[in-house]
């Protein structure tokens, strides 16, 4: 597969960035398989193009000293601690994720931050503003020079509801019928009013605290 990716990049007339982390969290998987180490070491000779992947885990030490030639973009997914503790079970705490971002940037990796999934709990403005402030205070200068942001609102489905009720009986209820609306058969997302309020909030506050950094999208 990596050979095909490299050939595709080499044949392209424009610079390509390809996503390689759609089906699993490569940082977590790497602790067992070391596949990410292999991928980085075998992609480093390419003259153009980038590979990118998202993660919710902070165990990045094994890739810090690799010769990656700046061809990898690691996008750390973050959420307020309240959401991580009550929804993102088994993933790394927020502070650990922030420190991992700093380590990756110091090691020369390109880094991005994904605020996702944004969940509009009752006190969402308070906890997400605190998240943005914490990022501002804890991210090192090297990160702030080039980091970019993606913001993704939560989508949900009837299947998720049933799975979560059985697997995580003590989890907070994240399906809100007053704020969510149908998006196809058995699928839900936040209604237009809620989404517009969220877009305004994140746009204003990210531009306030990270005025020199790009917001790729808010969706």
Give the C-alpha distances (Å, rounded to integers) separating 45 from 19, 63, 211. Answer: 18, 16, 35
For the chain, strand residue ranges (E) read 17-19, 50-55, 72-78, 110-118, 148-153, 155-157, 180-182, 187-190, 215-218
How many C-beta neighbours within 10 Å does residue 153 have?
19
Q: Is residue 126 part of a domain?
A: yes
Residue 124 counted as domain residue = yes
Does 3 reside within a domain?
Answer: no
Please report, rounded to a whole number, the percentage of residues in the chain having pLDDT higher than 90. 77
Q: Cα–Cα distance between 35 and 31 in angstroms, integer?
A: 9
User: Is position 197 within any domain?
Assistant: yes
Write out the E strands in 173-218.
180-182, 187-190, 215-218
H/E run at residue 148: strand 148-153
> What is d(CA 84, CA 216) in angstroms, rounded to the nearest whole number?
23
Report how far residue 43's alpha carbon sits from residue 166's, in angstroms, rounded to the nearest whole number.
41
The β-bridge partners of 19 are 52
pLDDT digit string, tens, across residues 61-111:
999 999 999 999 999 999 999 999 999 999 999 999 999 999 999 999 999
3-state secondary structure of 128: helix
Q: How far apart are CA 107 and CA 74, in angstroms?
A: 12
In angstroms, the CA 209 to CA 31 distance is 34
d(CA 67, CA 53): 17
Note whether residue 91 is domain-resident. yes
Report the CATH number that the domain containing residue 186 is assigned in CATH. Answer: 3.80.30.30
Name the pLDDT band for 141 (thresholds 50, 70, 90). Answer: very high
Q: How many residues does this entry show for the chain?
A: 219
Question: pLDDT tens-digit profile of 46-65?
Answer: 878 999 999 999 999 999 99
Write down the pLDDT at residue 2: 86
Q: Which residues pair with 43 in a beta bridge?
A: none
What is the rounded average pLDDT of the residues 111-137? 98
Tell me the mean pLDDT in the region 33-54: 91
Residue 160, pLDDT above cutoff 80: no
As a whole number, the mean pLDDT across the chain is 93
Domain count, the chain: 1
In a domain, 107, yes or no: yes
Range(s) of the domain holding residue 68: 17-218
> CA–CA separation, 1 vs 185, rounded Å?
34
Asked whether residue 123 is domain-assigned, the answer is yes
CA–CA separation, 133 and 135 (whole Å): 5
Q: What's the pLDDT score for residue 199?
A: 98
The reply to whether 2 falls in a domain is no
């Amino acid at each position: 597969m990596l050979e095909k990716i490299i050939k595709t990049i080499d044949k392209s007339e424009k610079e390509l960035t390809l996503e390689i982390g759609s089906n699993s969290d490569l940082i977590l998987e790497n602790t067992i398989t070391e596949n990410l180490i292999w991928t980085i070491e075998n992609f480093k000779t390419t003259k153009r193009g980038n590979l990118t992947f998202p993660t919710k885990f902070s165990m990045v030490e094994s890739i810090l000293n690799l010769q990656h030639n700046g061809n990898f973009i690691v996008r750390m997914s973050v959420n307020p601690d309240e959401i991580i503790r009550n929804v993102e079970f088994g993933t790394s705490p927020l502070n650990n994720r922030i420190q991992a971002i700093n380590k990756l940037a110091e090691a020369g990796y390109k880094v991005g931050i994904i605020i996702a999934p944004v969940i509009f709990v009752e006190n969402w403005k308070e906890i997400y503003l605190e998240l943005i402030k914490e990022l501002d205070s804890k991210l090192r200068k090297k990160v702030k020079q080039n980091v970019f942001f993606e913001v993704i609102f939560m989508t949900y489905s009837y299947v998720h509801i049933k799975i979560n009720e059985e697997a995580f009986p003590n989890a907070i209820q994240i399906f809100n019928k007053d704020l969510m609306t149908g998006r196809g058969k058995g699928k839900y997302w936040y209604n237009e009013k809620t989404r517009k309020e969220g877009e305004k909030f994140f746009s204003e506050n990210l531009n306030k605290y990270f005025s020199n950094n790009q917001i790729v999208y808010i969706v």
